[in-house]
Chain A
Amino acid sequence: MTPHRPLKRAAVAALLLLLAGCAPFVLASGRQNLSEYGFEVTVPDGWYRAMRGEAAEALVVTRDGLALQQILIWRAPVDKELKYTKRRFDEKLPPYELAEITLDNMRSDPAVNDFVVDENVPVTICGKPGYKLVYTWALKGGYRLKRVHYGFLDGKWMYQLVYQASARYYFDRDLATFDTVKDSFTLISS
C-alpha cells in the first residue's frame, strides 16, 4: 500500500457521502406526514420520492421514472401566480372556474400541443368541493402524456393532486394505484 492510498479511500468515501446526501430519489413508501404542506398521504410500496428541483416544492413520487409515471401533490397560496397563465385562482370562484384556470394554465404551456380534455366533473375531496380533470397532450416529438388532475380550495390554499403518465401503457397500469393514494389523502388541520 502506498502512502497515498488512505487519502484516496477517504476521498472516495467523502464523495459517496456527498452523493448520498443529495440523492435525487429516495424510497418513500408508507404513510407520509407532510405537515409543511398541510396533508398526509400513503405512498404505495416500491415508489420513490423525487427530492430535487421543482419536485422539492411538492410530493412527487414515481415507480419507474418521472418520464413514465408520477404522482404529484402540492398546495399553493390561492393567489400565487401560475406558471403559464396570468389568470389567477380566487377564493370566490366556483370549482368549475378553478378547473378552467387549471386547464388554461396547461393550454398556455409552450411545450403542450394537441391538448384534449376528456373529463371535467365536480368532486368532493376531504369534504371540500373541487374538480376532477382528465386530459392528454403531446410533446414536440409526438410523445403523448395523460393526466388525472384533482383540485380544491381549503381557505387560502389551493390543493392539487395529479397523476401523470405516458398515455400508452403506463397510464392505465398505475391509475388504480393513484386512486388509492388519492383516497388516502387527508388534510392536517393547522
Chain B
Amino acid sequence: MTPRSTTGWKVRLGCALVIGLAAAGCASTTLPPATRSPSGLALEEDERRIWNRAGEEQEKLRRAHVEYDDPALKGYVNAVAQRVAPAEVAQAGIALDVRVIKNPALNAFMYPNGTMYVHTGILARMENEAQLATLLAHEMTHATHRHAVRQFRDMRNKADFMAGLSVATLPFGSLGLLANLLGSLGMVAAVYGYSQDLEREADAEGFQLMVRAGYDPREAPKLFRHLKQWVEDEDKPEPFFFNTHPRLAERIASYEDLIARNPQFLSRPEPLRIGEEAFLAHTRRMIFDDALLDLSAGRFLQAQKGFQKVLGLDPENARANFFMAETYRSQNDPKLFAEATWLYQRAIALDPTYADPHKGLGTLHYQARQSAEAAAEFQQYLQLAPVAADRGHIQSLIESLQKEVQK
C-alpha cells in the first residue's frame, strides 16, 4: 500500500465514522406510549409511513380472504380485547380490532394502527380466556407503546451507520437499495417479533393489563409453557415468533418473574377470572376446523389433539369421531387401522345417516384387498350421500371392485 492510498483510506474511514455517528444519534427510539396522548396520538413522519404500510398489508390480507368466518368468535375475542385494553387506547386514536386468520400456525401479530391478527392455530391451543387475555394484552402493548416505529428507528440508526460507511468506502453508495430494504422493516418486526427489550416491555405492560382486568396471572406462563410443548411435539417448527423455542422460553421466564415480583396480584379479594367455559364455548367450532387444517397438512399428532379436545367436550359428536378415525387411517400405518375402524363404526352408531364413515371403512377394506367388503361400504356411502362431490370416483371404484369379486 502506498503512503497516498493509506491516507485516502484513513480519510474515508474517518468520514464514515463521523457520518455514521451523526446518523446514529438523529432518531430517538424513546417515545411516550400512545396512551399518554389523550387528545390523540400525533404521528411522526416515519411512524405515519409505517401506519400506511400497515393499511396496505391489511388490504392485501382482506383481498386474499384469509379471515376465519365466525362472527361470534370474532365478537368474543374482541370483547376480551376491550376488557383488557386501557381506556386511553381509543382516545389515542388506536382503533383496536382483532381478526382471526384461518391458519394452523402458532402466530399472532399486531399492526401499529390497532389491528391485530390471531391465527386459529394459536387460539386452538389455548385452554381458557385468561390465556387469550395474556396474548391480546401482550400484542396490544406493541401498538400502545409504539414498538413498530421504535424498532424501525433502532434498526435504521444502526443501518445509517453502515450506510455512512458504505458511502465513504465504496465507489457507488447503496443508499437507494438500503432505503427500500428499510421500508419493510417495520412490518417484518410486526410479524416476526420485536427486540428482546420491547418484547419484555410487552410482557410487563400486558401482564398489568390482564391483572387489572381481573384475570388470573398464573395463566400467563401456563400459556407459553403449553405452546412450547406443542412446538416440541412438532418436528418441523415454523419461523413465527410464537413458534420458536427460545422466544417461548423467554416469555415463560419473563412472566414467572413478573408473578414472583408481584405476589399481591394473587391475593386479591375478588376471585381471579380464568374463563375456561366461556372460552371453550366460543372456540369449539374453530378448534375443530383448525384440527382439519392439521389433518390436511399431515400433522397427525396435532390433529389428534384437536379432535380429542372436541371429543372431550362432546364425546358423542359423530363428525369428531369420524375425523379422529381419519387421522389414524391417513397415516397409512396398518397398526392404526383397528383404532380407525372402531372410530368409524362409533361415528356410524352415533349417526346412522352419516355417509363419510362408510367411505372410510371402504377405503380400509380396499387397502386390505377385501373387495366385496369395500364395495359394500362404498355402496352404502353413495346410498347415504347420492350427490357426493366424489360420486364419480366412488362409482367407478365400485364397478372395478365388483369385477374383481366376480373373477
Interface residues in chain A, defined as those with a beta carbon under 8 Å from any beta carbon in chain B: 84-88, 90, 92-97, 99, 103-104, 107-108, 110, 113-114, 117, 120-122, 129, 131, 138-142
Binding site secondary structure of chain B: helix
Q: Is B64 an interface residue (CB 8 A)?
A: yes
Q: Are the C-beta atoms of A141 and B60 separated by less than 8 Å?
A: yes
Q: Is B166 an interface residue (CB 8 A)?
A: no
Q: Which residue of A lies closest to B103 (CB)?
A: A110
Q: Given that A94-B397, A95-B393, A121-B393 are contacting pairs, would A87 and B64 also be in contact in the complex, using a CB cutoff of 8 Å?
A: no
- Cβ-neighbour of B298 out of A87, A113, A129, A142 (below 8 A): A87
Q: Which residues of B contact A110 (CB under 8 A)?
A: 103, 105
Q: Which residue of B lies closest to A138 (CB)?
A: B64
Q: Which residues of B contact A107 (CB under 8 A)?
A: 293, 296-297
Q: Are the C-beta atoms of A108 and B64 separated by less than 8 Å?
A: no
Mark each residue of chain B from 55 to 82: 1 if its CB lies under 8 Å from any CB of chain A, else 0: 0000011011110000000000000000
B103, chain A: closest CB distance, angstroms: 7
- Cβ-neighbour of B65 out of A85, A113, A129 (below 8 A): A113
7 inter-chain pairs at a CB distance below 8 angstroms, sorted by A residue, are: A86-B236, A93-B363, A94-B393, A96-B397, A108-B296, A129-B400, A142-B64
- Cβ-neighbour of A121 out of B65, B236, B297, B392 (below 8 A): B392
Q: Given that A88-B332, A96-B390, A104-B296 are contacting pairs, would A141 and B64 also be in contact in the complex, using a CB cutoff of 8 Å?
A: yes
Q: Given that A114-B65, A138-B65, A139-B64 are contacting pairs, would A131 and B393 also be in contact in the complex, using a CB cutoff of 8 Å?
A: yes
Within 8 A of A (CB), among B270-318: 293, 295-300
When chains A and B are docked, how far (Å) is the Cα of A177 from the Cα of B238? 39
Q: Which residues of B contact A90 (CB under 8 A)?
A: 332, 367
- Cβ-neighbour of A120 out of B64, B367, B389 (below 8 A): B389
Q: Which residues of B contact A113 (CB under 8 A)?
A: 64-66
Q: Which of B367, B393, B394 has the most CB of A within 10 A?
A: B393
**20 new A-B pairs (CB below 8 Å) besides A95-B393, A113-B64, A140-B60?**
A85-B296, A90-B367, A94-B366, A96-B390, A96-B394, A96-B397, A97-B363, A99-B393, A103-B296, A107-B296, A108-B293, A114-B64, A129-B400, A131-B393, A140-B61, A140-B64, A141-B60, A141-B63, A142-B60, A142-B63
Q: Is B330 an interface residue (CB 8 A)?
A: yes
Q: Which residue of B lies closest to A81 (CB)?
A: B298
Q: Which residues of A contact B400 (CB under 8 A)?
A: 129
Q: Are the C-beta atoms of B393 and A122 separated by less than 8 Å?
A: yes
- Cβ-neighbour of B297 out of A84, A88, A93, A117 (below 8 A): A84
Q: Which residues of A contact B366 (CB under 8 A)?
A: 92, 94
Q: Given that A88-B332, A94-B397, A122-B393 are contacting pairs, would A108 and B297 also be in contact in the complex, using a CB cutoff of 8 Å?
A: yes
Top-3 shortest CB links A-B: A86-B298, A142-B63, A96-B393
When chains A and B are docked, how far (Å) is the Cα of A113 from the Cα of B60? 11
Q: Which residue of B lies closest to A119 (CB)?
A: B389
Q: Are the C-beta atoms of A86 and B299 separated by less than 8 Å?
A: yes
B165, chain A: closest CB distance, angstroms: 31
Q: Which residues of B contact A122 (CB under 8 A)?
A: 392-393, 396-397
Within 8 A of A (CB), among B104-125: 105
Q: Which residues of B contact A141 (CB under 8 A)?
A: 60, 63-64
Q: Which residues of B contact A88 (CB under 8 A)?
A: 298, 332
Q: Which residues of A contact B330 (CB under 8 A)?
A: 87
A153, chain B: closest CB distance, angstroms: 14
Q: Which residues of A contact B299 (CB under 8 A)?
A: 86
Q: Which residues of B contact A95 (CB under 8 A)?
A: 393, 397
When chains A and B are docked, how far (Å) is the Cα of A85 from the Cα of B396? 27
Q: Which of B61, B64, B332, B363 has the most CB of A within 10 A?
A: B64
